[in-house]
Structure 1
Amino acid sequence: MCVVYQFVGRLTELFNQGDGKWNECGRTEQLQNTLNPEWATQIRIQYFFEEKQTMRFEIYDIDSTSTDLSAHDFLGRVECDLAEIVSNRPFRKSLRFAWLTLVNEKKREKKGNKYKNSGTLEFDGVQLLKHYSFLDFIAGGTQLDFAVAVDFTASNGAVHKPTSLHYINPTQPNQYEIAIRAVIDICQHYNNSKLFDAFGFGAILPPDTCVSPVELKRTDSVVGLLGLLEAYRFALNRVKLYGPTNFAPVIREIAKKASGLPSNGSRYQVLLIITDGAISDMAATKAAIIAASSLPLSIIIVGVGDDEFENMHELDSDDRALSHAGHIAQRDIVQFVPLREILPDDCTGAESERVMGLLAREVLAEIPKQLTSYMKKKNITPRPPDDPFPKDAEAGRESILLKV
C-alpha cells in the first residue's frame, strides 16, 4: 500500500521539517502477493503553480486489515515536489451531447396541453472551443525556459559593504538571492534540461568601458538554481557597478530568443528581472514589451531595496493594455512585485525561507494565465498527456488526480 502526504507550512531545505506538518492525502488499495504493485487508486491534490508543494509517498507491506500503519512493515519513502510529477499525470474528460427542444412560449400558452414543441434542433457538427488550462499544456509536455537579469547599477552600493543590496552575508541570502531562489526553486521543475540564461545590466565589464547586457555565465549554460547563484556571485567579483538602469536591451535579447522558439507550443520563455530602482529607459522598455507581447514570453520584475518603484506599475498593466506611441500590447506579459512589501525589516536566515514562499506566490501567480492567453491567441492546443512533446524538445489553481 502507498500512503500519500502533503506538507503544509514552511519546509526548510533538503526536506527537513520546518514550521508545519505532513497531512495525509489518501491511501491506495491493498495489493496481495506482488513485488511490483501497480495501484489504481486516484488521489485528488489541489495544485498551485505559484507554490512549492512537497509530497511524500510511503510504502508499506500490509500484514493485516488494520488501518494503523504501525501494524505493517514500513518499506521506504520518497519525497519530491508536486511540480516534478504533474507533467505525467493521467486524466480523462468526457463530453455528452443531447437534442434540444425548441419551445415557442406563445404557442404553448394558446394550445395548452396539446402543444408539444415547435421543432427540434440537432447538432450534426460541433466545433468545441475548449479553454485549456495551464496544467493541460504542462501535461502535454510544454517546457518553460527561464532567464534571469540582475541589476548591477551603482545605486545598489559597493558590494563589499554590509549596506549594499549585493552584499554576500555568509549567514543569510541577500535580496537578489532571495528573489532568484524564490522563483527558480519552483520554476526549475518545469524545464527538463535545467539550463538557464543569466544576464546582468548596468555594469561595466573591465577592461571595457561600455554598458550593455552582461552574460553572467562562464560556460555555455547555467545549470539549475545552484548554477544561477554561482554565476551571480562570480559576476559580483568581476563587474564594476555603474548604470544606467536600462531594461530594454535585455528584454530585446530575450525576446529575440523567444521569437525563435517552436510555434507548436512546446516551449514558453519567462524572464525574471531583479532591480533596485527606477527605469532609465521607460519609453524604450515600453516599446520592447509591446513588441514582445505577441511572443511566447512572460516578464517578472522584482523590486529590491526601499525605492517606491512608481513607474514600474505602468508596465504591470492588469487593468488595461500597455500602450506607447500609438502601439498597444496584444496581451499583459508583465508582473511586478516589490520585495519590501513582503520582506520584514529584521529578516533572519530562517525568516527568509518564509519570505521566499510568499514572494514566489506573488510573482508566479499570473504565469499560468499569461501562458494560456498566448496559446489561445495563437490557436495552439496542448498535446494529449499520453502523447506529450518529447522531453528533449527544444522547447491558477486546479485539482489534479494523482495516480500512484
Structure 2
Amino acid sequence: MEGDVMDKVEATATVCDFDPISGSIPATKVEITVSCRNLLDRDTFSKSDPLLVLYTQGAECKQWREFGRTEVIDNTLNPDFIRKYILDYFFEEKQNLRFDVYDIDSKSPDLAKHDFLGQVHCTLGEIVGSPASRLEKPLGGIPGKKCGTIILSAEELGNCRDYATMQFCANKLDKKDFFGKSDPFMVFYRSNEDGTFTICHKTEVMKNTLHPVWQPFSIPVRALCNGDYERAIKAEVYDWDRDGSHDFIGEFTTSYKTLCRGQNQLNVHEVVNAKKKIKKKRYINSGTVSLLSFNVESEHTFLDYIKGGTQIHFTVAIDFTASNGNPSQSTSLHYMNPYQMNAYAMALKAVGEIIQDYDSDKMFPALGFGAKLPPDGRVSHEFPLNGNIENPYCNGMQGILDAYHQSLKTVQLYGPTNFAPVVNHVASYAAAVQDGSQYFVLLIITDGVISDMAQTKEAIVNAAKLPMSIIIVGVGQAEFDAMVELDGDDIRISSRGKLAERDIVQFVPFRDYMDRTGNHVLSMARLVKDVLAEIPDQLISYMKSRAIKPNPVPPPYSPVDQPQTNPV
C-alpha cells in the first residue's frame, strides 16, 4: 500500500499539461546562395577578384551589421560563391539585407582598401517569395555605371521535418481501481544527453479496461528522439484518477529505430513496475504494450508551398465609420498629420510591407466600409478606396496609402460597422481558387464595436473552409471584446451550431504595441510580428485539410563554369 502511495506522489510530479515541442525547435533556417553576373572590371591586366559581404539590420536598430563574407574568387566577372549564408527566417518580420561586392586587391581585411563593385538591398522575404525562391536584381551604388546583376537563391534547411504516426494497445494491465478495472493512459518521454527525460506525448485515457486500444497519434520525430534514432524513449503507463493522483502501473523503454520496425515481436513490450518486482518474488510484469502500426511522413512547410509557387494575395479593408472622428480634427483616428502617419496608415504599412513580398504583381485590392459615398450619399460596406468599382487594385503599399488619403477627402464617415460584406467579398475570390496555388489574407483595420456580429460569425465560419486568413487590427481606445471572440484562440468560433473548420482570425489592439517613446518604426515592427505570426500555420492547416502538396520546384539554376577559388 505504501508503495502505491509513493507511486502516486511520483506520478503527479511527472504527468502534467505540457507542450511537447514548445521552445525546443529553432527558427526555420534558410541557406542563401549568391552568384553575380557581368561585374565591373577594376583590374588592368586581369578581371576582378570579387568577394561578397552580407549585412543585416535589426528591427529595433537600423544600424547595418556585417553578417559574413564569402571567399574571394580570382579573375572573374561571373562568380558563383561557394560559401553560403545561413539565416533564421521569420515570415512575420521584415528582415532587411544588404549585399556589397568588392574587388579584392590585397590580403587586408579592411574593405576600405579594396575596390567597391556595387551593392543591392532586399528583404529575406523578397528572396523567399520570388519564383522558385530565386531573386535576380541589378547591382547599384556607383553613379553612372552598370554594375551587373546579383542572383540570390534561398533553400530551407531540412531540420528533420518527419512526423511519425503510431498506435498502441495493451494487454492484461494491472487492476488499480476498487470498483472497476483501470483507466489507463500512456506518457512518452525522450531521453536527454545528460540522462534525464523530457515528456513528449500523453495519450488519451481509456476508461474501465485492462486491454486498452489507444487512438493513433502523430508526433514530430525531432520531439521523439531529437534526430538520434538509437536514443532511448521511455513509456510509462498510468491508471487515471479524477483528483490527478494517477497510479503508476509500469514502464518500458524502446527507441525510434525499434519503433520503425513496425508491428512485430520486438515491439511487444513488458510493462514493469520496478518496486513491485523487488517486493514480489513471483512478479513477472504488469501487462504488455504492443505497437499496432507505425509510419513516417515528411511534413510540408510554409516555405515548401511558397517555393512551389503559392501566391499570397493581400486585401485591406478600412473602417470609415463616424466613431473614428472628423478626419480634419487632430483627435480623429483618421487625422492626416503632415508630420507622422496615423494608426490606420501605420498598421497598413507594417502588415503590407511584409506580405507584398509574397505577391508577384504587387497589386492589392483596397476597400472601405461604413461611409456615405458621393454623389448620392448612399452608405456602402465594401467600396474601393480608389473609386474604381471595376478595378479596386492599388499599385503597391504606396498606392494603397494614396487611395486611403484620397478617400478621406471624398467620402463622409458614417456607419454602422459591418464586417460581413468585406469578409464575403474576399471569400468569393478564395472560393474560386482552392487548388493551393493562391492564399488570401484580409486585413481589417477598425476602431471598435461591430454591428453585424451574427452575420460576421457566419461569414468567418464559411470562410474557414477556404484558402484565406483574416487579420483584425483594432485602433483607438475602444473595448474590443467582440474582436477577441472572433479571434477564436480560446473558444473556436461557431455560427448556427456549426463550428469553424479552422481558426483563421487573428486580432490585436494596436495600442498594446505602441512604443512609449513615440518610436513608430518600433511600434510597427512589434505589431506586425504578432499579427502575421499565425499566417504560415493557417496556410499549412488549409493545405493539409485538403491534402494539397506543394508543387515541385522548377529546375534549379545552373551556374556557369567556375574559375579557381581563393580560400583566403
What TM-score range do you get, normalising by the shorter chain? 0.7 to 0.9
- Contact map agreement 2:156 2:303 (CA 8 A) in 1: no
**Equivalent of 2:541 in 370, 373, 392:** 373
**Equivalent of 1:329 in 493, 500, 503:** 500
CA drift at 1:128: 5.3
Structure 1 unaligned spans of 5+ = 11-18, 107-120, 389-404
Provide the rounded CA distance (Å) in 2 between the counterparts of 1:70 and 1:359: 38
Match of 1:342? 513
The Cα offsets for residues 111-159 of structure 1, whole Å up to 9 and x where unpaired, read as xxxxxxxxxx9x9xx9753221111111222111011000011101111
Output the amino acid matched with 1:276.
D
Match of 1:61? 103
Structure 2 unaligned spans of 5+ = 1-50, 135-153, 163-226, 230-256, 271-290, 557-568
- Contact map agreement 2:379 2:414 (CA 8 A) in 1: no
Provide the rounded CA distance (Å) in 1 between the counterparts of 2:480 and 2:66: 43
**Equivalent of 2:363 in 195, 198, 203:** 195
CA drift at 1:64: 3.1
Q: How does 1:5-404 map to 2 (within 5 A)?
A: 5-10=55-60, 19-86=61-128, 87-88=133-134, 89-90=154-155, 100=261, 103=266, 129-206=297-374, 207-219=376-388, 220=391, 221-261=393-433, 263-344=434-515, 347=518, 351-386=519-554
- Contact map agreement 1:25 1:45 (CA 8 A) in 2: no
Greater fraction of residues in strand:
2
- Contact map agreement 1:90 1:385 (CA 8 A) in 2: no
Provide the rounded CA distance (Å) in 1 between the counterparts of 2:516 and 2:334: 17
- Contact map agreement 1:337 1:363 (CA 8 A) in 2: yes
CA drift at 1:60: 1.3
Output the amino acid matched with 2:448.
G
1:75–1:319 CA distance, 2 compared to 1 (3 A): same
CA drift at 1:217: 1.8
CA drift at 1:218: 3.5
- Contact map agreement 1:140 1:387 (CA 8 A) in 2: no
- Contact map agreement 1:9 1:21 (CA 8 A) in 2: no
Provide the rounded CA distance (Å) in 2 between the counterparts of 1:74 and 1:105: 67
CA drift at 1:81: 1.0
Corresponding residue pairs, total: 359
Q: SS at the partner of 1:384?
A: coil
CA drift at 1:211: 3.4
Normalising by structure 1, what TM-score?
Answer: 0.83
CA drift at 1:71: 3.7
Larger Rg belongs to: 2
Q: Relative contact order: is structure 1 or structure 2 higher (C-alpha 8 Å, sep ≥ 6)?
A: 1
1:387–1:378 CA distance, 2 compared to 1 (3 A): farther
The percent identity for this pair of structures is 49
Provide the rounded CA distance (Å) in 2 between the counterparts of 1:315 and 1:176: 20
Provide the rounded CA distance (Å) in 1 between the counterparts of 2:419 and 2:347: 17
Greater fraction of residues in helix:
1
The Cα offsets for residues 240-270 of structure 1, whole Å up to 9 and x where unpaired, read as 1110001011111111111112x33111000
Provide the rounded CA distance (Å) in 2 between the counterparts of 1:387 and 1:255: 34
The runs of at least 4 consecutive aligned structure 1 residues that moved more than 4 Å come to 91-99
CA RMSD of aligned residues (A): 2.5
1:216–1:39 CA distance, 2 compared to 1 (3 A): same
Output the amino acid matched with 1:335.
Q
